[in-house]
A and B are shown apart, each in its own frame.
Chain A
Amino acid sequence: MNTYVIQRLLLILPTMFGVTVVLFMAVRFLPGDAVDQMLGDFGAASPELRRQLEERYSLNNSIPQQYVDWMGELVTGDLGTSITSGRSVSSELQRRLPATFQLGLLAMAFSLMISLPIGIVSAVKQNTPIDYAARSLAIMLLSVPSFWLGLLAITYGFAWFGWTPPLRYEQIWEDPIANLQILWVPALILGGLLSGTTMRIMRSTMLEVLREDYIRTARAKGLGARLVVMRHGLRNAILPVITVIGLQVPVVVGGTVLLERIFSIPGMGSYLLTSLSQRDYPVVQAIVLISASFIILTNLLVDLSYSVIDPRIRYR
């Protein structure tokens, strides 16, 4: 088991390497670069100016050289400097990362609080009105676009409740109440979207598990219904659920991009969209790399949890 854990940890290295290569190449394949944008701003495209700018941002080096430089900077913890603003990416992210992280975590928490209990009850009470209501709810949650709900919350939230997203974003350590006032609506919208998937998977795997022989045995030996479901059912049904929760991290990242834009939250997602359109390579690379690392980490946790939760799956 321990060798598996060590092996799995070591395997992060090729994955990270693959991610940096793919990311780096993808950014270079984007048509146009930041210098084009700047030259556009100056209204002139003199070759001399272009050469100077390219030299300034090391865009004239060969691509492998640029990659090596970037990796060298990363190893020392330097995320690079924004071409457009001239500020270091890490200083900018210090304000933006917490906002996105908070939005994502809050959404996940909302999602699990909604989905797990409803999914389990729905499976246990299969084909009863409770089950039908729960399934319809899950499907509705899955079907409604989060960005549409966001738009409606802003449009009708003001008209009906006089609620409007505060104009100024406050960090949680500056003003926790104002911070949560901004974040709870987008987090609830995103959490609702996520909970639909989790609820469905929870229900369907729980149904499968409840038909297994060992559940019948557990019932036959007189174990209470609650214990059968929680101890024997949940433990066996949770594996696909954990996979799905792990798979949802990219959905969360994508969702934060959309909701940050709609609710004007100064997080990573909105920063990425702006930087992408300005071809601000260092910023784009840094943000995608951070999201990717985070996803790699959760994938690792999902993989490791398999063997802990289901000993039938043995890694050698």
Chain B
Amino acid sequence: MSAAAAGDVLAPRELQGPSTAARFYRPALRFIKKQPLGAFGLLIVIILVVLAALPSVIAPQRYDDFDVTARLQAPSMDYFFGTDQLGRDNFSRIIYASRTSVIIGFSAVLVAAAIATAVGVSSAYFGGWFDTVFQRLIDVWMSFPGLIFIVFVVAIFGNGRGTIILTLGLLYGAGSSRVIRSAALTVRSMSYIEAVRATGAGDLRIILRHVIPNVTPIIIVNASVQVGAVILAESSLSFLGFGTPPPFPSWGRMLGEAQTYMTQHPHLALFPGAAIALTVYGCNMLGDALRDTLDPRLRRGA
């Protein structure tokens, strides 16, 4: 039974199925019921995306509004998270900074997943000198410690958003291409691949229809872990002072700046870090739940 035949059976049922709205709600409800933690993660991610999209509507002040008479205030009803050394409202700045994390986090993971799949699968599938050359290039690439590498790139090419996204993508893509390659190696040695080849399928068809679908769970697990990890990496970079440029805030830089004042004013260190932790936690929870839902092998079992 080929995949095309299965599609023919499914198509008519889809057409006469329930209304579009019901078709969307039912799986959504099932997701919330079966994956409460994942739904919670989804909620955090939705809030994050809304904050990142509409900071000027939600935040009480702009990120660069300052009031020198209200410097280093503790949290109060006027300033929920207190103010920083320039008298800027930390609550508003944290809301604006979500944009930095969302844009860099999601774009870099997409770049990484595309690179990792292409390199990992083709390297495992074709093997031989192709594999050797690619693996050696990746060896060179990955021999540089990630954080140090990005710091270098930023020092050379500047701290533009595009540069950081591409570098993080290349970095995390190289890492997961290894994992995907090792999974694809196992898939390649399975007898069903041999069977498909015996039916006369070409390399491209085998890769697209048989190898990639079988490593997709690994790709998704990897990407799901990475959204959070990339957001963390971006904040580490900003913490060290190599992130996207001021005045637009980022959580990592807020923490970096907090170091000078934090012993007297711990709120400066507390809230931006909590924002990073909560965001990354939400992304990871959602990623976990998506994996459990999407991975056919995990779905089938007990």
Contact = CB atoms under 8 A, between A and B. Distances in A.
Given A15-B139, A142-B225, A272 B148 contact: yes
Contact of A313 (B37, B186, B278): B186
A148 B277 contact: yes
Contacts of A155: 262-263, 266, 269
Nearest to A262: B259
A145 B232 CA distance: 6
A21 B281 CA distance: 39
Interface stretch (B12-20, B21-29, B177-185, B196-204): B177-185
B156 interface: yes
B155 interface: yes
Contacts of B285: 139
Contacts, number: 170
Given A26-B156, A148-B277, A291-B144, 13 more contacts: A11-B139, A14-B136, A127-B302, A135-B37, A148-B273, A148-B276, A211-B301, A244-B179, A250-B147, A254-B145, A258-B147, A258-B239, A299-B139
Interface of B: 37, 132, 136-137, 139-140, 142-148, 151-152, 155-156, 175, 178-179, 182-183, 185-186, 189, 221, 225, 228-229, 232, 235-236, 239-240, 252, 255, 258-259, 262-263, 266, 269-270, 272-273, 276-278, 280-281, 284-285, 288, 291, 297-298, 300-302
Interface in A1-56: 11, 14-15, 18-19, 22-23, 26, 29-31
Given A11-B136, A273-B240, A312-B189, A156 B266 contact: yes
B259 A211 contact: no
Interface stretch (A66-74, A113-121, A172-180, A200-208): A200-208
21 contacts: A18-B136, A18-B139, A22-B144, A139-B285, A142-B229, A143-B228, A144-B273, A144-B280, A145-B252, A145-B276, A147-B236, A148-B273, A152-B270, A208-B297, A239-B182, A240-B179, A257-B145, A291-B144, A292-B144, A292-B145, A313-B186
Nearest to B258: A151
B270 A299 contact: no
Nearest to A252: B145
Question: Chain A's interface: helix, strand, loop or mixed, by majority?
Answer: helix
A15 B140 contact: yes
B65 to A, nearest CB: 25
Contacts of B259: 151, 262
B236 A204 contact: no
